[in-house]
Structure 1
Amino acid sequence: MGARLRVFLTRDQDKTLLNLRTTDAPQKVKERAEIIRLNAHGWYVEKIAAHFNWTPQTVREVLHKWEKLGLEGLWDKVGRGGKPKWKESDIVFLEECLKKEPRTYNSLQLAQKLERDRQIQLSPDRLRRVLKKRG
């Protein structure tokens, strides 16, 4: 068994991590900040993992990122996740069609129109969710 993984915080770092709890930061960032604080206050990786219901390896990764990147390591990298297949102009196009034309469309017909006129393939369900989110 290797040496215990332990981070040490300055008073300012501890205060910064504590203040993250009251900001509008993502929940994962708040949890990562709390993991670092608990480790600095003497909690072992296994105990922290049990407390958060995470694996010990995930807790170690958080601690290693803190040592390597500091505060920046708490946030996920930009560009994670799938990219949208549509652009804002495509949705504006559909909204204009709905305003101009006297007929009504269902989501399947809108998806077909978007594919025919703009070569954008969106499922009717996904298109419905995008439009609903826009109001």
Structure 2
Amino acid sequence: MGARLRVFLTREQDETLLKLRATNVPQKVKDRAEVIRLNAHGWYVEKIAGHFKWTAQTVREVLHRWKKSGTEGLWELPGRGGKTKWR
């Protein structure tokens, strides 16, 4: 078992992530923001995964994307999902 994955947030980052819950953004973005906040408040990856009914690997990916890209990492990358087939 490796070291526990943990993120640390400034007060401004925590408030920004909390405000995302009340804005008009996709639910996935809101969930990812909450995952980051829970981890910063001391929840372990396994506990967060159980809370959201995700795999532990998905939680780790969200946390790694946050460490690498910050707020930008919360949104989907362009080109994801099925393309529209009608015009």
TM bin, normalised by shorter chain, reads over 0.9
The aligned counterpart of 1:58 is: 58
The aligned counterpart of 1:34 is: 34
TM-score, scaled relative to structure 2: 0.95
Q: Of the two structures, which has the highest relative contact order with CA contacts closer than 8 Å and spacing of 6 or more?
A: 2
Residue by residue, what CA displacement relative to the aligned partner does 1:84-131 show, whole Å, maximum 9, x if unpaired?
A: 2332xxxxxxxxxxxxxxxxxxxxxxxxxxxxxxxxxxxxxxxxxxxx
Residues in 1 aligned to 2:51 and 2:33: alpha-carbon distance in whole angstroms = 14
Paired-residue identity, %: 77
Structure 1 residue 80: Cα displacement: 1.4
Larger Rg: 1
SS of the equivalent of 2:13 reads: helix
The aligned counterpart of 1:82 is: 82
Residues in 1 aligned to 2:37 and 2:82: alpha-carbon distance in whole angstroms = 32
What are the residue-to-residue correspondences of 1:1-135 with 2, within 5 Å?
Answer: 1-87=1-87
Residues in 1 aligned to 2:53 and 2:36: alpha-carbon distance in whole angstroms = 15
Structure with more helix by fraction: 1
Residues in 1 aligned to 2:83 and 2:27: alpha-carbon distance in whole angstroms = 22
The aligned counterpart of 1:118 is: none
SS of the equivalent of 1:25 reads: coil
Structure 1 residue 56: Cα displacement: 0.4
| Structure 1 unmatched runs, 5+ | 88-135
TM-score, scaled relative to structure 1: 0.62
The 4+ residue runs of structure 1 with deviation greater than 6 A are none
Residues in 1 aligned to 2:47 and 2:74: alpha-carbon distance in whole angstroms = 20
Counting matched residue pairs gives 87
Structure 1 residue 27: Cα displacement: 0.5
Structure 1 residue 79: Cα displacement: 1.8
